[in-house]
Amino acid sequence: MAITKPRTKLVNFRLSEEEFQGLREASAQFGARSLSDFARCAVLKSSIGDSDSDGLIHVRLSDIDHKVAEIESNMRQIKDYLTAAATA
């Protein structure tokens, strides 16, 4: 999925080891593409008081989109290999 607005601003904050591990676990549980994407969505959702999970759904869909692209690439490689093997 394309980013419609470039992200040029950086936010930096520190976490304890326990907080960091909790963030990593939550990110993995929600299937986020990256820890950064998960944290961004969570912070932005909480900053506007939106309690639904649309942002997290977007993160999951982005991850699924990436994985589908990988599968498509792998399938093309398999097809090319099989085509080459059949003509050899």
Measured at the CA of 59, the angle between CA 58 and CA 61, to 5 degrees, comes to 65
75 band by pLDDT with thresholds 50, 70 and 90: very high
Better-scored residue on pLDDT, 64 or 49: 64
Q: Determine the Cα angle at 59 with ends 18 and 76, to 5°.
A: 120
CA distance 17 to 19: 6
Average pLDDT over residues 50-56: 58
Structurally, the chain folds into a number of domains equal to: 1
Q: Which residue range forms the structural domain that includes residue 39?
A: 17-87
For residues 63-68, average pLDDT: 82
Token pair 């399938």 in the structure block, residue: 75
On whether the CB atoms of residues 27 and 38 are closer than 8 A, the answer is yes
Task: Tell me if 73 is assigned to some domain.
Answer: yes
- Can you give the pTM of this predicted structure? 0.49
Average pLDDT over every residue of 13-31: 89
Instruction: Determine the Cα–Cα distance for residues 60 and 85; give it in Å rounded to an integer.
Output: 37
